[in-house]
């Protein structure tokens, strides 16, 4: 395990606990120890014995007004939610993903320097949407830079909705198109839903007359990091799942002594679909404090 970890570290591939546990079971099985079970207690002892620590490469801190958040949660939100069941309260938001980049945290040996490789600039915007109970996750929308990519050649359908623009960003036109698509879905299901969205220029007010099934509520400006359910750990979960899949691709290539093939957008789209599918209803429901009535 130590030698394998060193070889991975030399390739600037981040490591963290789930992958270490998985690899330890792989080694034990190949060495004939079929009864070995990799658990967190074993991993902690392994890290202590070999001087391994978990280091964060970077981070950021944001200030949120607790008073303004509390006012919205106690004075405004309850009246909006009292007529909707939690299955009919949805939240949507977008996030940027540098789909070739690795995680910014890794397990290393004490005393070793901690640095990553060159950061890729290839990125997409991913729009996620789910209801508050976590039992319904809508299809991902991915916004890339190009419409006709070489990796898309011969592909009849994608596992996500895909749009493109030069800046790979959410625009008001894409937002409105997506909103009406969701509205048509709920019309067909004969449902009335509440959709919470953050307040930004890419999310303009859409005429209520054009929406039959959705009531859109914009969260207060500058408070979405605290109030928006999708931001409370939900949107982070598929990103973590996605990067785990990238690491497994790299480790498999190393184990099989293959060259590290370049990840294209089609690969990323399939992995993003799987990463969103791996997000459990409990994860979503547990990260909706102050919103579920």
Domain segments of the chain: what residues? 67-101+116-286
Alpha-carbon distance 54 to 108, whole Å?
A: 7
Mean pLDDT is lowest, of 183-192, 211-220, 282-291, for 282-291
pLDDT recorded at residue 214 = 94
Q: What is the pLDDT of the chain when averaged over all its residues?
A: 81
CA count, 13 A, side-chain hemisphere, 275:
24
Q: Which of 239, 188, 191, 248 is nearest to 215 (CA)?
A: 191
Rounded CA-CA distance 290/293 in Å is 8
Most confident of 49-63, 81-95, 178-192, 220-234: 178-192
Architecture of domain 67-101+116-286 in CATH? 2-Layer Sandwich (3.30)
Give the pLDDT confidence score for residue 59 in this predicted structure. Answer: 39
Q: Where are the beta strands (DSSP E) in the chain?
A: 52-56, 89-97, 105-109, 124-131, 141-144, 161-164, 193-197, 214-218
**What is the model's pTM?**
0.70
Contact call for residues 185 and 141 (beta carbons, < 8 A): no
Q: Tell me how crowded residue 107 is: count the other CB atoms within 10 A of its CB.
A: 20
Q: How many residues does the chain have?
A: 293
Residues 151, 157, 160, 165, CA torsion sign: positive
What percent of the chain lies above the pLDDT cut of 90?
A: 26
């Amino acid at each position: 395990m130590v030698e394998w970890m060193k070889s991975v570290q030399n390739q600037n591939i981040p490591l963290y606990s789930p992958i270490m546990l998985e690899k330890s079971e792989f080694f034990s099985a190949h060495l004939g120890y079929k009864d070995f079970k990799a658990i967190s207690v074993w991993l902690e002892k392994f890290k202590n014995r070999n001087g391994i620590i978990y280091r964060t490469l970077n981070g950021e801190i944001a200030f949120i007004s607790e008073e303004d958040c509390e006012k919205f949660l106690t004075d405004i939100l309850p009246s909006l939610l009292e007529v909707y069941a939690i299955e009919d309260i949805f939240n949507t938001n977008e996030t940027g993903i540098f789909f070739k980049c690795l995680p910014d945290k890794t397990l290393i040996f004490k005393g070793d320097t901690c640095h990553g490789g060159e950061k890729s600039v290839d990125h997409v915007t991913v729009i996620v949407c789910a209801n508050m109970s976590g039992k319904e996750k809508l299809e991902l929308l991915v916004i890339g830079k190009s419409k006709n990519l070489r990796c898309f050649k011969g592909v009849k359908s994608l596992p996500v909705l895909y749009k493109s623009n030069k800046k790979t960003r959410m625009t008001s036109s894409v937002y409105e198109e997506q909103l009406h698509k969701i509205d048509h879905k709920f019309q067909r299901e004969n449902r009335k839903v509440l959709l919470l969205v953050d307040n930004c220029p890419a999310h303009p007010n859409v005429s209520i007359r054009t929406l039959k099934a959705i009531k859109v509520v914009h969260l207060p400006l500058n408070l979405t990091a605290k109030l928006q359910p999708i931001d409370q750990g939900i949107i982070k979960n598929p990103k973590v799942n996605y990067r785990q899949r990238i690491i497994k691709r790299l480790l498999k290539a190393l184990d099989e002594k293959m060259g590290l093939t370049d990840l294209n957008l089609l690969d990323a789209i399939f992995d993003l679909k799987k990463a969103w599918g791996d997000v459990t209803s409990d994860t979503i429901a547990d990260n909706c404090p102050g919103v579920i009535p």
